[in-house]
Chain A
């Protein structure tokens, strides 16, 4: 199964289970969790179920396209469902069948792996899902985001698309997987990996990114003061990416790191609080008609 068929099958599957098919966010981010469709939607009482691909940029993980397993940018397939349905694990297992994996023939295990993002003030409890010893998915019950305790709880399922595609095709290098008939992942993306690594490790102007960080941070604060939650969150994401670039460039000392992460976290927490207030002011548009906050909502699928 090639990469794009894998994406299509997952989308088809989760759409059939009642998920809204979101689209990748158009701002650089380190993980699909930072997409407003996850980070902001997990907050508050409104039910939510969506699925999307998110290109995830991790400048420090780049290897100039020389390592067969490591990428500075890769694709996550993200599914979030709130409140977490009782049968979510079973539905996940069913999704494997949809991409051609018969769980009866494999070793499928859920091993404890709790997730935490200091930059987002977020953490969750869950597992890494191992298929024949390989981590194919991160499965998390979100407990806190932006410093806010979450109830109802969101189940988050993150498939690593490249790893899954490599595994399904038994490829030894990520660059050898087939993206679409006749085009490999390497043909489509190798240049990007080489140039992005060179840029992040050697060329990036640290003083520019330092300045960008400061200005984005100030702009996010200005937006918050003006009651503009979503623009404020966009600038928080830009701050986070500027930090990642500086980090890859080796421009942030270990001692400074903690302080810089804290600055991003403070913005993320303020965005989260402002978002909760804004949804309340809007009367929770996604709550089913006639329900109060904190519904015993039906699972949106299954």
Chain B
């Protein structure tokens, strides 16, 4: 059993692609080694400049392979005298065996001669040298590049390839770079050439050359350094796993330094300071008792900073950024948001849907209408104010510089201008929820305008036929739809979603597609997001399906029903009713439709009368419970009908000869089904 070591040393590989590149390399080499019968246990590592693959327990050579080839039919292979024909001799020669070694195999199509030969296994290094170049050169990256003469194509230029099989160089080339037994240390700290004899030797020598090849080790060192440096000033680093992940990919020598900034900047809103630090400068803010302290922690591809140069540089940059932010904060303050409204007229939203001024007008009208439909006309004045100011931060210098703070900046400015809380928070929260774990807008006013904004975007683009397909969603309509669903569910707002869509669509004026096309398609699109949100909340697919196959114009109500079905389906009296209900659905699917009410006069059998009686009694209670959205109790009542339904099926023949009796029995079952469908289609529930 042998060891294999591969290192591809390239110019700095983007941090964002490293995790996937490692996975792809591991998977494809692993599969290739398995298929080539050399196996082995593989692992991958990476730094900002290296992809490393280590294999242990690899076979030194492929095991021999016995291969059987089928030749001509027996009739063609042997003459009447039993002597081999020319065909048999030719086949044997081709297979490299004596004609006497041929034997007969019986296949479905008849008897044939066959030959067995041994394909000798080849030495593993020879196999590896053939396997690796196509795997590495065909790796895919979101953005590829060419270099030099323009022929090579990969993520970044490759400088050296180290490939050792038990200490011996495996000879091949990647992008014209021949493999060898050498690599290089850290770019600035130990740039010299390193000669390597094996995997252990490689890791030891790299570490001595200021390169930590293990990403999780680098991440640990950075995290530990951050805590220690923050503690020295009585604080703690802001928890930020995603940033630490990235930082660990950006370096070979994981170093952390602590810098400080002018305390005066703490007057600026925390959101702006944090975005500046985190997004623009990739440094961790330090907090004391949860509040920002005038310190930050910066990564450095370095082992130390004895002269404080790295700290000084980072401080210089961060102070410059904060000075810029303060400049924008002060400058933007000279023009009120209200006075920026007209500028939205020259900011395009979408070519055929007009500019942001027109969008603002539509959002304002739709917000008022939605508030009225929700029976919250009281929100009117605040909703109008929030809608008018909603997009004005798009024409501020701050948002031009801090694009990812759009909305937040508007909220901060509105607060500074003295707008009431519900208004400035509406601006601040307008893009919430930004992701699945984000919360939706805090207040009712914020929720209404955020809903209106998204419905306006969705109906406009659906109206133009710009519907997302596959992975293409340039207007982020899935996220917008998810926002609609989340807001409605989080606030338990009972509104008719297709009607709201229709309201929004009409405000666009004439669009290429009609309301009859757009509203059903958009409703279905929103229902898919509802399904996604419900399954994320842990409800089983069949429970969700049982509700979403009924009338679901009111999403919050649908969610209530899913929750109720989920709560009762585990109870033991629910199982029989679900099974019985499947029979109801089956029988009704075989019977002709009827609109008649069940007539007690036509009920001859006891079991039939009993079921009708129980159902009549239940129906009154069900109507009341369903109206009050008390679905758990409604489902309990439905379940209580189980025994009489069972008895009915045991004793009564539904599809009987007498057409009047049959129609009456169908009518009874249909009345029950329709009543039950107001909550869920139990027939969708599995076992």
Contacts and interface: CB of A to CB of B under 8 A. Distances in A.
Interface of A: 63, 67-70, 83-86, 89, 93, 103-112, 114, 125, 127, 131-134, 141, 143, 150-153, 155, 166-167, 170, 172, 250, 253-255, 294-297
27 contacts: A67-B324, A68-B323, A69-B324, A70-B324, A86-B157, A104-B189, A106-B188, A106-B309, A106-B313, A107-B255, A107-B305, A107-B310, A108-B301, A111-B15, A111-B250, A132-B312, A132-B316, A133-B310, A133-B318, A150-B150, A151-B146, A152-B149, A153-B149, A167-B313, A170-B316, A253-B346, A254-B346
Given A141-B147, A151-B149, A105 B316 contact: no
A152 B324 contact: no
B145 interface: yes
A138 to B, nearest CB: 14
B381 interface: no
Contacts of A152: 148-150
A151 B305 CA distance: 42
Contacts of B301: 107-109
B146 A143 contact: yes
Contacts of A170: 312, 316
Nearest to B354: A255
Interface string B411-455: 000000000000000000000000000000000000000000000
Interface in B305-324: 305, 307, 309-310, 312-314, 316-320, 323-324
B143 A83 contact: no
Contacts of B320: 68-69, 172
B188 A103 contact: yes
A253 B313 CA distance: 39
B560 interface: no
B155 to A, nearest CB: 9
B281 interface: yes
Q: Which 10 A-B pairs have the closest CB atoms?
A: A151-B150, A132-B313, A112-B14, A107-B300, A133-B314, A125-B145, A254-B348, A110-B12, A103-B188, A253-B346
B275 interface: no
B347 interface: yes
Interface of B: 11-12, 14-16, 48, 143, 145-151, 156-157, 159, 187-189, 250-251, 255, 281, 283, 298-302, 305, 307, 309-310, 312-314, 316-320, 323-324, 327, 346-348, 351, 355
A296 B156 CA distance: 19
B569 to A, nearest CB: 50
Contacts of B310: 106-107, 132-133
Contact of B313 (A93, A125, A134, A172): A134
A111 B301 CA distance: 12
A134 B346 contact: no
B355 A254 contact: yes
Contacts of A105: 307, 309
Question: Which residue, A111, A114, A295, has most C-beta atoms of chain B within 10 A?
Answer: A111
Nearest to A113: B14
A109 B310 CA distance: 12
A64 B309 CA distance: 32
Contacts of B307: 105
B12 A127 contact: yes
A127 B145 CA distance: 12
Contact of B12 (A93, A104, A111, A132): A111
B314 A84 contact: no
B48 to A, nearest CB: 8
B14 A83 contact: no
B281 A133 contact: yes
Given A127-B12, A294-B149, A109 B312 contact: no
Contacts of A131: 313
A67 B156 CA distance: 37
A83 B149 contact: yes
B483 to A, nearest CB: 24
A172 B316 CA distance: 8
Contact of A167 (B143, B281, B316, B355): B316
Contacts of B147: 84, 141, 153, 155
Nearest to A111: B250
Nearest to B49: A110
Contacts of B327: 63, 67
A246 to B, nearest CB: 12
Contacts of B319: 172
Given A131-B313, A150-B146, 11 more contacts: A70-B324, A86-B159, A105-B307, A106-B309, A106-B310, A107-B302, A109-B251, A111-B250, A125-B156, A133-B310, A141-B146
A170 B320 CA distance: 12
Given A107-B300, A253-B348, A69 B148 contact: no
A274 to B, nearest CB: 21
Contacts of A63: 327
